[in-house]
Amino acid sequence: MIRPDYHSAVRFCPCCGHSVEQKESIVIEYWQGEHNVCFTWCHVCGWRGEITEIKRVTTTEIPE
C-alpha cells in the first residue's frame, strides 16, 4: 500500500496538462540504474509513456 503522504514526481499529463493524481489515471514509478522513471497513463486524453527524471545535462555552446 502506498503511503497517503507520498506524491510522485509526475503530477500533470505532458500532453493535455490534466492532473494525473486522480485515481482514474496511472503513474507507476520505478528505477532504471540511477534514473527515476514514471510510466504514466492519462485517463483524459489517453496519452501514455515513460517520463524520466534527468539530473544532469551537458551541452556545447555554438559559436555565433
29 is a domain residue: yes
CB atoms within 10 A of CB 38: 18
Give the pLDDT score at 7: 66
**Across 28-34, average pLDDT:** 87
61 is a domain residue: no
63 is a domain residue: no
62 is a domain residue: no
Question: Is the confidence at residue 1, as pLDDT, over 50?
Answer: no
**Across 9-24, average pLDDT:** 89
Give the pLDDT score at 62: 87
Residue, of 57 and 13, whose pLDDT is higher? 13
| Average confidence score pLDDT of the chain | 85
Domain region containing 46: 10-55
CA distances from 30 to 36, 50, 60, 62, 64 (A): 6, 10, 31, 36, 41
Predicted model pTM: 0.70
